Amino acid sequence: MTEFEPQILAFACHYCAYAAADLAGSMRLQYPPNVKVVHVPCSGRVDIIHILRAFERGVDGVFVAG
């Protein structure tokens, strides 16, 4: 039996969280392969429909970072 590894979708704000994620990349840090980052203009622009659609498409968790 394989170990469960949740698929995570992260919505990252351009001015805050995405800048931190970009810096982590510059430092050669890596994300786990089960985490996908989506660059958004502002975390306030993430609508509930985006989150619900992510779940409909099989994502196990959604993270909105601002």
- What pLDDT shows up at residue 38? 92
User: What are 1-56's pLDDT values in tens digits?
Assistant: 678 999 999 999 998 888 887 787 788 888 888 999 999 999 999 999 999 999 99
Domain coordinates of the chain in residue numbers? 8-65
DSSP 13: E
- What pLDDT shows up at residue 27? 86
Percent of the chain as helix, strand, coil, to the nearest 5: 35, 25, 40
- What pLDDT shows up at residue 26? 82
- What pLDDT shows up at residue 1? 66
